[in-house]
Structure 1
Amino acid sequence: MTTRFFSRVRQLAAPALITFLSVLLSACSSTSAVSEADSRDPLEPVNRPLWTFTWDYADKYVIKPTSEAYTEYTPAFLRSGLYNMALNLDEPSTIINHLLQLKFSEAASSTGRFVLNSTIGMLGFFDPASDFGWDRQQEEFGEVLGKYGVGDGPYLVVPALGPSSVREEVGDFVDRYYWPLAVIDFWPNLLRSAVIGLETRASLADQEQLITESVDSYEFVKNAYFQNMNYKVYDGNPPVVVDEEEEAEIEAFLDEFEDELEE
């Protein structure tokens, strides 16, 4: 759950909640009197117990066993096909989000993917587009907001679903209204979200030990989440941020260490 888990289920959140989160995002982005850590996670007293519930109970006793059973008993070709179909429905929103960032070549590639996979690929069950070099480049509206300078907003732990932020929740809400997701009924959309969630949980099996062995799993997952979001916003090339205060402390320590050696 170091990145996104069952994010598509969160797209079914009520509009009233998203409105509240939007206001909260604006309020948080204008606050500069608190430290960076506090500004990222002002809801920590609420988030921590929600993380404990999510990781120690919901995941341990429900989500992980369900994912393991799904991956073990579902034929590989069927798993792959269902997952491809679920992700194929994201391509139209990806196209629009690319265009909003003036990424015209990426938008064209995603358009080719959607058309080819939806026709020859039997509604996305197969992925012939990858054979033409049109690899999946999923882009979300939350990343568009980040690209234009909108901050993450407060860190959130969605019960049983994992780490998120106000910006991501607002972005998911917008993505939900792109075609064809906007015309898909609740239950088919829920099934689609479940397939994505189960596959996502299965893919995190190798990272699970890192969370378990970390000194503070809550902080570990939170930091990993923000790093991943930053990585996605900058398309894998995030700017290097120098902490001047930390650099000054290190320099002072080295100077003191050198003085001791000279003595």
Structure 2
Amino acid sequence: MKPVLVSCLVLLMATGCASKKAVDEQQAQTNYQDPRDPLESVNRDIWDFNYDVLDAYVLRPVTVGYMTVVPKPARTGVANMVNNLSEPASFVNGLLQAKPKSAAISLGRFVLNSSLGLFGLFDVASRIDLNAQDEDFNQTLAVWGVGDGLYLMIPAMGPTTTRGLVAGVVDGLYFPLGMLNSNLTITRFTLSALDGREQMMSMEQMLNDSVDPYAFIKEAYFQRVEFKVYDGNPPKKAEEDESYLDEYLP
């Protein structure tokens, strides 16, 4: 699977949504027990709830309405502002991973976009080739040798691991995210979900055609995390994982 494709799929995972193919998933499962996913039976139930209920009746309809009412330039500006709030966390994690160049870029992006970009409304930094580094504490822990832990499917949020869950809490403590009140935090989460769901509109057919969407997304999640940890150059074994992932496509 192409890295760009995995990147798109992870946006889907972040909101826990997809279009489900009308197949009996029990027939798609085998006797294989994934050691990363000892809670698979529970996780599958949550996955079904996420995309059969939350996505079908809430997230997708709301996203379609959002795309209809709000012009594309305005939606892009909102997404830029939300993403800009994560730049300080990316800066800190760049330092923690001993990536001074990456940290400097994240800091530069935050300063430029928060000032010249009107609080992040415009991504001025990218126009001068200061592209988003997307460093988070999940990657930091991986670099420090901490394992993934259990694979988890979280209601309304999608897939993660115990490491990723803890890391998400830590990243939320950095400035300015740690200063947001509950209403602003909910607003940020909602806008991120809408932006992610919008980007996944063109990818729905792939999930719809998948024999086992749950397993497909799980493999895509682990590949994406590995891709980020190794800055786009994962070990060669990732090629073998891709062939395994392809088993869930027709």
**TM, length-normalised to structure 2:** 0.81
1:48 matches 2:55:
no
Greater mean alpha carbon deviation, residues 168-177 or residues 66-75: 66-75
Query: What's the offset of the Cα at 1:200?
Result: 0.5
Q: Which amino acid aligns with 1:190?
A: I
1:57 matches 2:64:
no
User: Which whole-Å CA distance do the structure 2 matches of 1:120 and 1:6 have between them?
Assistant: 32
CA RMSD of aligned residues (A): 2.1
Q: Which amino acid aligns with 1:93?
A: A
Greater mean alpha carbon deviation, residues 141-150 or residues 89-98: 141-150
1:146 matches 2:153:
no
State the secondary structure of the residue aligned to 1:198: helix
State the secondary structure of the residue aligned to 2:118: coil
User: Which whole-Å CA distance do the structure 2 matches of 1:242 and 1:3 have between them?
Assistant: 16
User: Which whole-Å CA distance do the structure 2 matches of 1:106 and 1:243 have between them?
Assistant: 26
* 8 Å contact from structure 1 (residues 4, 163) kept in 2: no
Q: Which amino acid aligns with 1:3?
A: V
State the secondary structure of the residue aligned to 1:178: coil
CA deviation string 1:33-66 (max 9, x = no partner): xxx9532100001101111111112111111111
Structure 1 pair 212–126 and aligned structure 2 pair: CA distance change class (3 A): same
User: Which whole-Å CA distance do the structure 1 matches of 2:51 and 2:77 have between them?
Assistant: 29
User: Which whole-Å CA distance do the structure 2 matches of 1:242 and 1:84 have between them?
Assistant: 31
User: Which whole-Å CA distance do the structure 2 matches of 1:224 and 1:242 have between them?
Assistant: 11
Counterpart in the other structure of 2:63 = 67
**TM, length-normalised to structure 1:** 0.78
CA deviation string 1:128-182 (max 9, x = no partner): 1112111111111001111222121111111122111111111100001111111
Q: Which amino acid aligns with 2:200?
A: L
Q: Which amino acid aligns with 1:163?
A: P
Q: Which amino acid aligns with 1:180?
A: P
State the secondary structure of the residue aligned to 2:34: helix
Counterpart in the other structure of 2:245 = none
State the secondary structure of the residue aligned to 2:159: strand
Runs of 4 or more above 3 Å deviation: 4-8
Mark the structure with the bigger radius of gyration.
Answer: 1
User: How many residues of Structure 1 are paired with residues of Structure 2 in the alignment?
Assistant: 217
Q: Which amino acid aligns with 1:67?
A: T
* 8 Å contact from structure 1 (residues 6, 197) kept in 2: no
Counterpart in the other structure of 2:73 = 77
Counterpart of 1:210 (choices 185, 199, 206) is 206
Counterpart of 2:227 (choices 220, 228, 231) is 231
Query: What's the offset of the Cα at 1:2?
Result: 3.6
Query: What's the offset of the Cα at 1:188?
Result: 1.1
Counterpart in the other structure of 1:136 = 132
Counterpart in the other structure of 2:186 = 190
* 8 Å contact from structure 1 (residues 4, 164) kept in 2: no
1:179 matches 2:175:
yes
Query: What's the offset of the Cα at 1:206?
Result: 2.0
1:160 matches 2:167:
no
Q: Which amino acid aligns with 1:171?
A: A
User: Which whole-Å CA distance do the structure 2 matches of 1:195 and 1:111 have between them?
Assistant: 23
* 8 Å contact from structure 2 (residues 152, 162) kept in 1: yes
Identity rate, percent: 43
Query: What's the offset of the Cα at 1:77?
Result: 2.1
Query: What's the offset of the Cα at 1:7?
Result: 5.0
User: Which whole-Å CA distance do the structure 1 matches of 2:189 and 2:238 have between them?
Assistant: 38
Counterpart in the other structure of 1:106 = 102
Structure 1 pair 243–101 and aligned structure 2 pair: CA distance change class (3 A): closer
User: Which whole-Å CA distance do the structure 2 matches of 1:242 and 1:56 have between them?
Assistant: 30
User: Which whole-Å CA distance do the structure 1 matches of 2:196 and 2:33 have between them?
Assistant: 28
User: Which whole-Å CA distance do the structure 2 matches of 1:113 and 1:147 have between them?
Assistant: 23
